[in-house]
Amino acid sequence: MTLRTEELKERLNSNPDFSASSLFFDGIILIEICSLAIWMKVFMGRAILVTQKPLPFGYTFAVKGTAEGWGLAMDERKDRLREAVYKGKLRIEGNTLEFTRMTKAVHGLMKVLREMVTEGLITIED
């Protein structure tokens, strides 16, 4: 699936939770939704690059999982990211301290992803 990376970047930069929480972050977030990989370079509260092409620099932290895990995390009723991670449905790789510090930004990211899934711009399937 081809993702509208510019649209995702614009939505992230418009999300107050993402912007405020990532203000002092300089790193790369990798999101793997089944076979869809999204690399996001974030610097001082802004996503400055969103791509589906692998970056040679790796990532600061990654959130990875199957359709079942992402389905749980993006439940329409509430943000269930933490539950999906605790139940082992999603896994965090890389710098888990940075992931923990960036939790509010990740919740903002989840809100944007959930909106894009609802609008049919991202498909979650194994």
Kindly report, residue by residue over 54-99, the tens digit of the pLDDT: 778 899 999 999 989 988 888 766 678 888 999 999 999 999 999 9
pTM of the model: 0.90
Model confidence at 125, pLDDT cuts 50, 70, 90, reads confident
Tell me, letter by letter, the H, E, C secondary structure of the chain: CCCCHHHHHHHHHHCHHHHHHCCCCEEEEEEEECCEEEEEEEECCEEEEEECCCCCCCCCEEEEECHHHHHHHCCCCCCCHHHHHHCCCEEEEECHHHHHHCHHHHHHHHHHHHHHHHCCCCCCCC
Please state which CATH number belongs to domain 5-116: 3.30.1050.10
